[in-house]
């Protein structure tokens, strides 16, 4: 069983408005341009509707049980995410929960039995509670109460305890509780009065690491000895200037903290802090950002990820033999969710590619091949009919090279030009990454080219690139979006008069900014995008309190930057929007409130231009229910076919 700490929740404050993207970090000075010659011949292929694309199953979770023969998985095969126990021997599936309303996400099996921990909120509110499914199928809420948020941390090495974080005492800060595995009695072991974010615990339950942002370019790590009579945080990253530090994990011997920092160059590299000597030393380096580091529960294996030009490259090191673990031949794609059995003989993981959703694999170290245990892609879809992305770079207005992922429809050619969609990730500070996304494949399959832009300010391309848009949102990053249009127009298989802009969350903001501040685009699709920065920054959820200054450094403080924030907010310039717009929103979104979309739609209606509005009453910041994702995907295509392709 892998009890890797859930420090992925924290990521980076600047990426707090992420939608469908990752907050990892990499970069390259190489600027390669794709060939612009027409495709030789379009090939025969089949088109599929949204329902068929979403017949594919989304899988996640890879905690291996104590006997090493099953994985705890969540899956949306029932239409709503539920828990399943999946055999690592033959792939047999046993459904453990039967929710029809709220999505359930797996956390971990217990160390000595098949009780299962999981996380769930109500209607996308993000007020997650931690639950246990007992062996008899009954369920207990381990973090009951109203208006609180809870997260799992880890099990102790001896399996007698586990740790969870909740903000029940103060909505702004997360305290740490130790639960007894046997009867769930709990004790607060750290009262968070520093206002930092607890991120990772040592396996012996003694050491706690906390992250505290100073601004969006500067952060610190604190260590707490929970065995001390009066546990108090100690700063271990005294420094000058802007440097970011992020705790990753403690070493198997509980004698050092592994952390990443951008203090040694453009990219995040891994260092270790010796708890006895209080000294820092290099640990792992790469040519891109090191995204994460963790260890198997028995301490034998170390797993690390490198964000290499929008793909995650996994390294697995056997600390016992002191060499890289030799992996079997696998399909193209990124490895995700790597975990190990207690006996050290087996690992489980997912492989995810542009044309294939995540599939679960099991690999016995004494066997030459891995076993695929799931078939995520709909049986009605031929993977050969889908499109893999190409990493390209195009020049912006100041000749800065902008990375992007380009999807060319199979029907596109110089003789059959297709419309182009500029697809913008969330954030600010997110990243469009390789991997399967049904909404992209659906639109590309129906003849719309997609360019997933990583405009300046995106993570993954070095800290200089990341900060190029600080307090310049709706300005320099918008220039990158306009330049993306000009790049698409240079391609012989693109219809230069039919290019639209589309994005979610911060990408939805840039979509509306592109329509309000330029006349470059034929239409726009705004998926829960910010339209009034003053209101959004004033309504930050309380559990983001420790990141508030980082968000203000990135975007501006409503108290002092109100004039600028109003100037870059599309709502106050909605009279400039003169092209068709589709707006999609979740009613329970705690990040971008429904009123943002309500007011934007009402303002555009006054312009007598087509505006469509899809509101999901049971979703939040992102859509987890399969029926809603189908409805949204159908709405995107219908809108485009009505307002864009009609001019072809």
Q: Where are the domains of the chain?
A: 387-647
Average pLDDT of the residues in 509-535? 96
pLDDT given at position 530? 95
CA–CA distance, 155 with 130 (Å, rounded to integer): 14
Sheet (strand 581-586) strand order = 390-395, 401-407, 449-453, 418-424, 494-504, 524-527, 581-586, 611-616
Q: What token pair was written down for 261?
A: 């920092």
DSSP state for residue 68 in the 8-state scheme: S
pLDDT given at position 26? 31
pLDDT given at position 313? 96
CA–CA distance, 164 with 107 (Å, rounded to integer): 12
Tabulate helix, strand, coil % of the chain (nearest 5). 20, 35, 45
Cite the DSSP H helix spans in 525-576. Answer: 533-538, 548-555, 562-567
Is the whole-model pTM more than 0.85?
Answer: yes
Cα separation values, 484 from 38, 245, 420, 450, 453, Å: 19, 33, 10, 11, 8
pLDDT in tens, 624-633: 999 999 999 9
pLDDT given at position 646? 61
| Cis peptide, bond prior to residue 468, ω within 30 of zero | no
* Bridge partners of residue 200, in order along the sequence: 209
pLDDT in tens, 28-87: 333 333 333 334 344 578 999 999 999 999 999 999 999 999 999 999 999 999 999 999
3-state secondary structure 437-487: CHHHHHHHHCCCEEEEECCCCCCCCCHHHHCCCCCCCCCHHHHHHHHHHHH
CA–CA distance, 387 with 442 (Å, rounded to integer): 10
Average pLDDT of the residues in 144-150? 95
pLDDT in tens, 388-431: 999 999 999 999 999 999 999 999 999 999 999 999 999 889 99
DSSP state for residue 380 in the 8-state scheme: T
DSSP state for residue 425 in the 8-state scheme: -
pLDDT in tens, 245-299: 999 999 999 999 999 999 999 999 999 999 999 999 999 999 999 999 999 999 9
Among the residue ranges 25-29, 67-71, 462-466, the one predicted with the least confidence is 25-29
Pair 424, 511: CB distance under 8 Å: yes
Is pLDDT at 9 greater than 70 in this prediction? no
Cα separation values, 311 from 149, 338, 349, 405, 632, Å: 31, 16, 16, 11, 27
Among the residue ranges 139-143, 364-368, 490-494, 550-554, the one predicted with the least confidence is 550-554
CA–CA distance, 242 with 218 (Å, rounded to integer): 5
Pair 421, 450: CB distance under 8 Å: yes
Average pLDDT of the residues in 464-492? 95
Provide the phi-psi class of 216: left if phi over 0, else alpha when psi is between -120 and 50, else beta. Answer: alpha
* Bridge partners of residue 119, in order along the sequence: 105, 130
CA–CA distance, 132 with 107 (Å, rounded to integer): 10
pLDDT given at position 550? 82
Identify the three-state secondary structure at position 75: strand
Burial of 94 (0-12, 13-18, 19+ CB in 10 A): exposed
Q: What token pair was written down for 40?
A: 């030789």
* Residue position matching structure tokens 């980076």: 12
Q: What token pair was written down for 153?
A: 């941390």
CA–CA distance, 197 with 546 (Å, rounded to integer): 7
Pair 310, 432: CB distance under 8 Å: yes
pLDDT given at position 10? 29
Going by C-beta distance under 8 Å and a sequence separation of 6 or more, which residues neighbour residue 646? none
Average pLDDT of the residues in 443-451? 98
Among the residue ranges 2-11, 238-247, 383-392, 568-577, the one predicted with the least confidence is 2-11
Pair 635, 582: CB distance under 8 Å: yes
pLDDT in tens, 601-648: 999 999 999 999 999 999 999 999 999 999 999 999 999 999 998 644
Burial of 158 (0-12, 13-18, 19+ CB in 10 A): exposed
Identify the three-state secondary structure at position 409: coil
**548 falls in which pLDDT band (50, 70, 90)?**
confident
What average pLDDT does the structure give for the chain?
91
CA–CA distance, 240 with 547 (Å, rounded to integer): 20
* Residue, of 11 and 581, whose pLDDT is higher: 581
CA–CA distance, 49 with 356 (Å, rounded to integer): 17
* Residue, of 13 and 278, whose pLDDT is higher: 278
Question: Closest Cα partner for 136 from 100, 109, 96?
Answer: 96
Beta strands in 52-171 (DSSP E): 59-64, 70-75, 82-87, 93-95, 104-109, 116-120, 129-133, 139-141, 150-155, 161-170
CA–CA distance, 394 with 412 (Å, rounded to integer): 20
DSSP state for residue 227 in the 8-state scheme: T
Beta strands in 285-415 (DSSP E): 289-295, 301-308, 311-318, 323-324, 334-340, 346-353, 356-364, 371-372, 390-395, 401-407
Is pLDDT at 4 greater than 90 in this prediction? no
| Terminal-to-terminal C-alpha distance of the chain | 55
Q: What token pair was written down for 289?
A: 């950002």
CA–CA distance, 462 with 308 (Å, rounded to integer): 11
387-647 has CATH 3.40.50.1820 classification = yes
Half-sphere exposure of 77 (CA within 13 A, CB side): 17
Among the residue ranges 33-47, 111-125, 223-237, 288-302, the one predicted with the least confidence is 33-47
CA–CA distance, 498 with 470 (Å, rounded to integer): 31
From the centroid of its chain, how far is CA 593?
Answer: 20
CA–CA distance, 151 with 160 (Å, rounded to integer): 19
Percent of the chain with pLDDT over 90: 86
Question: Closest Cα partner for 49 from 636, 647, 509, 568?
Answer: 636
């Amino acid at each position: 069983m892998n009890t890797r700490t859930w420090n992925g929740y924290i990521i980076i404050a600047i990426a707090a408005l992420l939608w469908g993207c990752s907050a990892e970090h990499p970069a390259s000075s190489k600027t390669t341009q794709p060939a612009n010659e027409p495709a030789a011949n379009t090939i025969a292929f089949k088109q599929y509707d949204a329902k068929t694309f979403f017949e594919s199953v989304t899988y996640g979770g890879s905690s291996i049980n104590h006997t090493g023969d099953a994985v705890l998985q969540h899956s949306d095969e029932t239409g709503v995410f539920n828990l399943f126990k999946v055999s690592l021997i033959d792939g047999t599936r046993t459904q453990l929960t039967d929710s029809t309303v709220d999505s359930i996400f797996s956390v971990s099996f217990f160390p000595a039995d098949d009780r299962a921990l999981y996380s769930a909120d109500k209607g996308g509110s993000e007020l997650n509670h931690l639950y246990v499914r007992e062996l008899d199928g009954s369920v207990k809420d381990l973090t009951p109460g109203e208006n609180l948020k809870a997260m799992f941390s880890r099990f102790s090495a001896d399996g007698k305890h586990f740790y969870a974080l909740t903000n029940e005492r103060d909505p702004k800060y997360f305290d740490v509780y130790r639960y007894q595995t046997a009867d769930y009695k709990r004790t607060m072991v750290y009262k968070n009065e520093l206002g930092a974010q607890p991120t990772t615990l040592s396996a012996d339950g003694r050491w706690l690491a906390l992250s505290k942002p100073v601004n969006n370019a500067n952060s610190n790590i604190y260590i707490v000895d929970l065995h001390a009579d009066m546990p108090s945080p100690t700063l271990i990253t005294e420094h000058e200037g802007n440097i970011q530090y992020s705790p990753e994990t403690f070493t198997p011997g509980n004698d050092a903290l592994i952390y990443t920092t951008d203090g040694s160059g453009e990219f995040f590299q891994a260092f270790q802090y010796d708890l006895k000597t209080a000294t820092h030393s290099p640990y792992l380096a790469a040519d891109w950002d090191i995204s994460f580091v963790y260890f198997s529960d028995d301490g034998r294996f170390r797993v690390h990820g490198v964000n290499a030009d929008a793909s995650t490259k996994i390294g697995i090191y056997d600390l016992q033999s002191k060499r890289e673990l030799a992996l079997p031949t696998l399909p193209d794609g990124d490895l995700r969710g790597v975990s190990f059995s207690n006996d050290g003989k087996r690992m489980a993981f997912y492989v995810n590619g542009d044309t294939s959703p995540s599939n679960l694999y099991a690999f016995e170290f004494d066997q030459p091949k891995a076993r695929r245990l799931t078939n995520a892609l709909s049986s009605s879809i031929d993977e050969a009919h889908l499109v893999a992305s190409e990493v390209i770079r195009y020049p912006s207005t100041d000749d800065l090279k902008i990375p992007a992922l380009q999807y060319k429809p199979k029907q596109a050619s110089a003789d059959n030009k297709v419309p182009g969609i500029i697809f913008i990730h969330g954030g600010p500070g997110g990243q469009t990454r390789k991997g399967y996304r049904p909404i992209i494949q659906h639109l590309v399959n129906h003849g719309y080219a997609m360019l997933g832009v990583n405009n300046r300010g995106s993570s993954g391309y070095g800290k200089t690139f990341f900060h190029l848009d600080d307090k310049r949102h709706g300005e320099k990053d918008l220039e990158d979006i306009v330049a993306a249009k000009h790049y698409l127009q240079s391609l012989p298989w693109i219809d230069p008069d039919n290019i639209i802009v589309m994005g979610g969350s911060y990408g939805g903001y840039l979509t509306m900014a592109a329509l309000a501040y330029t006349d470059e685009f034929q239409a726009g699709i705004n998926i829960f995008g910010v339209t009034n920065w003053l209101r959004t920054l004033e309504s930050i959820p309380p559990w983001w309190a420790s990141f508030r200054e980082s968000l203000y450094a990135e975007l501006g403080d409503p108290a002092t930057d109100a004039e600028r924030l109003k100037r870059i907010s599309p709502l106050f310039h909605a009279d400039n929007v003169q092209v068709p717009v589709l707006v999609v929103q979740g009613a329970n979104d705690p990040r971008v409130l429904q009123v943002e979309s309500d007011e934007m739609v009402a303002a555009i209606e006054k312009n007598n231009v087509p505006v469509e509005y899809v509101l999901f009453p049971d979703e939040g910041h992102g859509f987890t229910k399969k029926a809603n994702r189908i409805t949204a995907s159908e709405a995107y295509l219908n809108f485009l076919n009505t307002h864009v392709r009609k001019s072809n």
